[in-house]
Structure 1
Amino acid sequence: PALELWTLSALTNYVRSHCKEHGFDRLESVAASTIWYLLNESEIKPHRIRYYLEKKDEQFEAKAKEVLLLYKKIEWITQLAKKYDDPEEEITLVNQEVFISYDEKPGIQAVENKHKDRNPKPGKGFVRRDYEYIRHGTVSLLAGIDLLTGKVHSIVCESHKSSDFIDFLKMLDKTYPEGLVINIILDNHSAHRSRETMNYLATHPNRFKFTFTPKHASWLNFIESFFGKMARTCLRGLRVRSKEELVNHINRWIMQVNAEPVIYRWKWKLEDIESAFT
């Protein structure tokens, strides 16, 4: 049948129609419940799809370990800093190096209602919204979390080209004191490896250190959790009248996040990192 996935009724009809040519005449009148029972007994679910992620990086394990060990280093620094009674000594220890988890969130849509929302009222305790809407284009968020402080650094752009990424690097360079190494965990987007980006890095030797996640494994990057939270809280159901309003909304939300920063805690033991790849 012209179906991507089997339904129980389609499978039952197919069995009834083709059973004789395979020598199973008794199935011509088989009940749908019987087919369902046989499928369940063998845990066969032809009506479902379960996705997997193909490993496309031959150096996956080595690159993944590099990222995980960097997270472990951050945990050690945090734990050591807590042992100091003097706040100045703690600050000095934490501020010897910077760790940024970075990525882009492109295609954030500026969508406006064509008709006004209707507010909740007794008997209808939910917002009612018309299906029609107006598109005003999209913007891209470039963001990085300081993994020691929880602060989010961000810029919102029309695109996420090499020049936009360089603008983000320039912002980091101005934010942190000279002489500190800024470690950045990021994926393999072309803008991160472009000639334009490499030329900028050459003008700031030993300032930035990139640690790339394996190809097709951006889920190893902490910033993805932040983007998930953003989608659920900042962007879900959002309606704006322009891209400018969308940009202001995103920036205001990030300001609120930074008012109460969340420091991501790494819980794996060192031996767990090794066993994860065995």
Structure 2
Amino acid sequence: MSHMEDVLDVYQQPADPRRPLVCLDETSLQLIGEVRTPRPVRRGRPARYDSEYIRHGTANLFLAFAPLTGQRVVKVTERRCRGDFARFVRDLVDGPYAEAERIVLVMDQLNTHATTSLYEAFPPREARRIACRLEIHHTPKHGSWLNMAEIELSVLRRDLPERIARRDTLDRHVAAWQQRRNTRGVGADWRFTTKDARIKLRKLYPTTEP
């Protein structure tokens, strides 16, 4: 409950350019190619795809979403190890949020989502520099629905073609999606509060004796 209420309280804080709210999440995708060339839509006939496909490995998507400003950063990587996470966070700190005092970072409790990953990827001085720019808030275990980046990843997955065979093709689709969403400034208006949680989720709270 403590993690949930902590995140919900963070979501109620007003926008502050010096301390931007950023939600981070990641997901993996299979790269899948066609065995036979799909037939496009024709008058009186729908598009037709063969049920067979060829696997071309996997790719990982890191996504950082700023719900109050409607901006997001997506990066495609081959893996999602500690080093990949660390480099993505460093790019946020030194890139779009270089002027921020600290990034208020919300993410789940995946074992790579910790400042220890920075120390495995960078020399101690660099790792400490990055870590000092972060204010980390973890969602509870089995409570990833509290992470608004998960919502954005769901939107992205629905927008991608059902089958993508090549990494460079995925890169292009992701970059185009990011640009469209950022240009429109699509944010999120989170309204579920700690007060709501104590009423609607009261059965999840431990029982205390008077």
The TM-score normalised by the length of structure 2 is: 0.84
Stretches of structure 1 lacking an aligned partner (at least 5 in a row): 1-60, 79-93
Equivalent runs, 1:134-149 vs 2, <5 Å:
134-149=54-69
Map of 1:5 onto structure 2: none
Decide whether the 8 Å contact of 1:67 with 1:212 is kept in 2: yes
Map of 1:249 onto structure 2: 173
Amino acid at match of 2:43: P
> Equivalent of 2:103, from 154, 157, 182?
182
Decide whether the 8 Å contact of 1:72 with 1:270 is kept in 2: no
Equivalent pairs, count: 196
Amino acid at match of 2:177: W
Q: Following TM superposition, by how much is the alpha carbon of 1:190 offset from its aligned partner in structure 2, in angstroms?
A: 1.2
Equivalent runs, 1:155-234 vs 2, <5 Å:
155-174=75-94, 175-178=96-99, 180-193=101-114, 195-198=116-119, 199=124, 201-204=127-130, 206-234=132-160
Q: Following TM superposition, by how much is the alpha carbon of 1:103 offset from its aligned partner in structure 2, in angstroms?
A: 0.7
Identical columns (%):
26
Amino acid at match of 1:156: V
Q: Following TM superposition, by how much is the alpha carbon of 1:251 offset from its aligned partner in structure 2, in angstroms?
A: 2.0
- Bigger RCO of structures 1 and 2 (CA < 8 A, at least 6 apart): 2
Q: Which has the higher strand share?
A: 2
Stretches of structure 2 lacking an aligned partner (at least 5 in a row): 203-210
The TM-score normalised by the length of structure 1 is: 0.65
Indicate the structure (1 or 2) with the bigger Cα radius of gyration: 1
Runs of 4+, deviation exceeding 6 Å: none
Equivalent runs, 1:1-278 vs 2, <5 Å:
61-73=1-13, 77-78=14-15, 94-106=16-28, 108-124=29-45, 126-174=46-94, 175-178=96-99, 180-193=101-114, 195-198=116-119, 199=124, 201-204=127-130, 206-235=132-161, 237-240=162-165, 242-268=166-192, 271-278=195-202
Decide whether the 8 Å contact of 1:149 with 1:263 is kept in 2: yes
Decide whether the 8 Å contact of 1:201 with 1:208 is kept in 2: no
